[in-house]
Amino acid sequence: MSSRVEYGWRATLRELFTYKSAILGIAILAFLVALSVYAVVTIPYDQAVKLWRGSENVWINNPRNALPEWWEWFAGKKLPRTLVLDSRVTGFGVSKAVTPVVGTDMKLVTINYIIDYNYDDFPSEVNIFFSARYQKNPPLVKLVVQKPGGEEIEFPRFSLRAPNDSLYYSISKDVLSTLVSYYASKHGGVNVSDRLTSIELTFGRASREGLESGALEVEKGMYRVRIDAVCFGEDSDLDARIVVYGKVHGPAGTDNLRRPLEIALLWGAPVALAFGLTASLLTTVLQMVIATIGAWYGGVIDDIIQRLTEVYMILPFLPFLIMISAFYKIDIWVILAVVIVLSIFGGGIKSTRALVLSIKEYPYIEAAKVYGASNARIIFLYIIPKILPPLVPGLISAVPGFVFLEAALSFLGLGDPFLPTWGKVLNDAFNAGALYRGYFYWVLEPAALLMLTAFAFAFLGFALDRVVNPRLREM
C-alpha cells in the first residue's frame, strides 16, 4: 500500500536533492532571486520607473544601440568605450584657460582636450555640448582637431545659437565638408568616397587609396581637440563637454533611446517571479479548493462549478485578456487579478475533482464522519492535505506559463505602462526593428532570461513530480 519509505517535507526535500535537474533548477532560481533582490535594493521602484521613462536627456552620455561590453570576447577586438571629457570637471586630459583681452570686455577661452584613443573600431558618435554664459552676443567658437600623426584640422568659426547649443559632430554637414576638403587638398585632389563619415575621416588613418575606396583603418593614439572661443561681455564664459560615444556599454548594452538595458532586465526578474508565482499559486490553490468543495458536496453546487468550468474552458483566454487590457489601461497587479479570475475555473478543476471523488470514498473519510467531523473539517484537514502533494509539481510547472503570459501581454503593448519588464524590452526591440538592424542582443537578452526562468521552474517541477509521484520514477 505505502511504497514511500519517508514522509514529511524534510524527507521530500532531501530526496529532491538527489535529482540533478532539481539542483540545476534551484541554482537558476537562486540566481534569479539574487538578481531580483539586487534590482529592488539598488534601483528602487520609483527610480527604476523614472529612469526607464526618463527622456533621452538622462542618458545623453550613453551611446545609442551599443552592444554589451562582453561582446568583445566574441568580437576578438577592443571595442570603443564611451569617453566623456568635460571642461567643468578638471581631470586628466582637460585643461581650460581664460585670457581677458586688454582694453575690451572680450575674453579668449581655450579648452584643450586629450583623447587617448586605443580601440580597434571607430566610435559610434561624437557630440560636443556647449554651456555658455553671455549677455548679448553669443561666443564665437572654433574647433581644432589634431590627429596622432600630427595632422591638424581646423574647422570654421561659428557662433553659438543658444547657451546650451551642441555640435553634433558626427552628423553635421559643415564638419563633413571641412574634413572632405581638408583631405582633398592634402592628398592633391583625391576624390573622397561618399561612403566615409565624419567619424571615419576623423579617427581613420588617411591614405589616398583608403580615401578613394572608402575603407579606412582606425588610427590609434592621442587625439588633441582644442576649442578656441571668443566670449563677449564682463560675465561671459564657455564650457564644453565632448562625448566620444563607444560601441559597447555596460553589461547589457543600450537601446535606441540610449537607456542601459540592464535596468529593465534587472527589474524584469522580480516582476516575472512575483507575477508567475502569485498567479500560479493562487490559481492552483483556488482551483483546488473550489474543485474539492464541488466534489465533496456534489449535487447542485458541483453541477454549477462543472458547467462554469466547461464554459470557462472554451472561452478564449488571451483575446479576453487583450480586450480588458486594451479598454482599461491597467497596471500589472490588476492584470494579475484578471488573469487569476480568468483561470480560476480552469482545467485543474476537472482533474482535482476526479481525485477528490475517489478520496471521498476512502474509509478514513467515513471514519471521520462517524466521529462527527464537519464538512469544512473534512475538506480542509482530511481531503486537501491528501491531494496537495501531487498538485505541487503542477503548481511549479505552471509558473513559466504565467511568466510568458505577462511577457506576451507586454510584447503586445498591453502590459503595465510604467514597469520595465522583459516583455516590454522585447516590445521595444520589435518596434525598433532590432532584428533587421542587427541589434541581436536587444532581443536575445530578455529572451534568454525568460527561458532561464522557464527552465528553472520546469527542472524543479519535473524533479518534484518524480519525488511526489513515485510511479514516474524510472526503474
Partner 1 sequence: MGEDKVLLRVENLKMWHAMRRGLFGGVVYVRAVDGVTFSLAPGEAVSVVGESGSGKTTLGKTILRLHEPTDGKLIFKGRDITHTPEKELMWFKRETGLVQQDPYGAMPSFMTIYRILEEPLIIHKVGTKEERSEMIFKALEEVRLTPVEDFAFKYPHMLSGGQLQRVAIARALILKPSLVVADEPVSMLDASVRVEILTLMRELQEKRGISFIYITHDLSTTRYFSEWIFIMYAGHIVERARTKALLQNPLHPYTRALLAAIPDPDPENRKRFREVPPGEPPSLVNPPPGCRFAPRCPYATERCRREEPPEFEVEPDHFVKCWLYVGAR
Phi/psi of residue 91, each to 5°? -175, -175
300 near partner 1, rule: CB under 8 A: no
473 lies in the site for partner 1, by CB under 8 A: no
Interface residue with partner 1 among 95, 366, 448, 470 (CB under 8 A) is 366
> Could you give the CA distance from residue 149 to residue 20 in angstroms, rounded to a whole number?
60
Give the one residue of 53, 195, 369, 437 binding partner 1; rule: CB under 8 A. Answer: 369
CA nearest neighbour of 167 among 115, 91, 243, 228: 243
Q: Which is nearer to partner 1, 438 or 470 (CB)?
A: 470
Sole binder of partner 1 in the list 119, 382, 441, 442 (CB under 8 A): 382
**Do residues 424 and 240 lie in contact, with contact meaning Cβ atoms separated by under 8 Å?**
no
| C-alpha to C-alpha distance for 318 and 441, rounded to whole angstroms | 28
Catalogue the E-assigned strands of 22-100. 83-86, 94-100
CB of 279 to partner 1, least distance (A): 27
Cell matching residue 210: 583608403
Residue 12: CA count within 13 A, CB half-sphere: 16
Cβ-based nearer residue to partner 1, 97 or 370: 370
Which one of 91-99, 252-260, 372-380, 391-399 is the stretch in contact with partner 1 (CB under 8 A)? 372-380
Which lies closer to partner 1 via its Cβ, residue 192 or residue 293? 293
The Cα–Cα gap between 384 and 382 comes to 6
Q: First-to-last CA distance in the chain?
A: 19
- Candidate list 157, 377, 437, 473; residue touching partner 1; CB under 8 A: 377
Nearest CA to 384 out of 408, 365, 367 is that of 365
Sole binder of partner 1 in the list 7, 74, 92, 327 (CB under 8 A): 7
Q: How far is the CB of 331 from partner 1 (least distance, A)?
A: 40
Q: Which residues contact 172 (CB under 8 A, 6 or more apart)?
A: 198
**At closest approach, how far in Å is the CB of 354 from partner 1?**
18
Specify the pairing of strand 83-86 against strand 237-245: antiparallel
368 near partner 1, judged by CB under 8 A:
yes
Among 9, 73, 74, 371, binds partner 1 (CB under 8 A): 371
Q: Shortest approach of partner 1 to residue 363 CB, angstroms?
A: 4
Please identify, using beta-carbon distances, which residue of 243 and 359 lies nearer to partner 1.
359
List contacts with partner 1 (CB under 8 A): 1-2, 4, 7, 362-364, 366-374, 377, 382, 385-386
